[in-house]
Amino acid sequence: MLHIREVLNNEIGWVREQRVRAYEEHAQTVPIEHWNALKRAILSDTDAQTGVEFLVAELDGEVVGSIVLYPAKSDAYDGLVDELDYPEIRMLAVSPNARSKGIAEKLVSECIKRAKQKEYKYIGLHTADFMTSAMRLYERIGFERQPQFDFEPANDGIIVKAYRLAIE
């Protein structure tokens, strides 16, 4: 059975490493500078900022995925994006051996639910074209492009694209 919960303090380092393993498939498809920037971002401790919700997906007692929900008006991208008036999803990761089980969608849905409980009208995220399965998931859920909040973290032509979902 799948259970979404807050990360435990003793799991944080391991879960950050799990994020790297989940994203490693992209290391061969993007320039090395971009991979290094992405790896630094997913290993960073920005997920420990005040108000950040660091969630994990536990399947049959094993942590198989994670996601981070940054509060509105927080610096989720180390100054690369203006602070937004709505929460931002970051670092969605599912272990390769646990994919195709709906875990990513459940993690995103939990973030949407939490934002709705706090009465936000929107929730946002950023992703890139090389993350094709993530982009399909976000678009299927109903996230829409917000190109005015795009950025280029590694000056290599790869644009990190902004998306936003109106919360009903």
Are 71 and 51 in contact by the 8 Å Cβ rule? The answer is yes
- What pLDDT, on the 0 to 100 scale, is given for residue 157? 86
- What pLDDT, on the 0 to 100 scale, is given for residue 168? 81
- The pLDDT tens digits for 1-49 are 899 999 999 999 999 999 999 999 999 999 998 899 889 989 989 899 8
Q: What is the CATH number of the domain that holds 156?
A: 3.40.630.30
Q: How confident is the model at residue 71 (pLDDT cuts 50, 70, 90)?
A: very high
Q: How many domains does the chain have?
A: 1
Question: Domain residues for 75?
Answer: 2-166
Residue 28 in tokens: 């061969």
Q: How do beta strands 88-94 and 122-127 pair?
A: parallel
Query: Residue 164 contacts by C-beta under 8 Å, 6 or more apart in sequence?
Result: 86, 122, 123, 124, 125, 143, 144, 146
- The pLDDT tens digits for 78-132 are 555 566 789 999 999 999 999 999 999 999 999 999 999 999 999 999 999 899 9
Average pLDDT over residues 58-66: 96
pLDDT of 64 over the 70 cut: yes
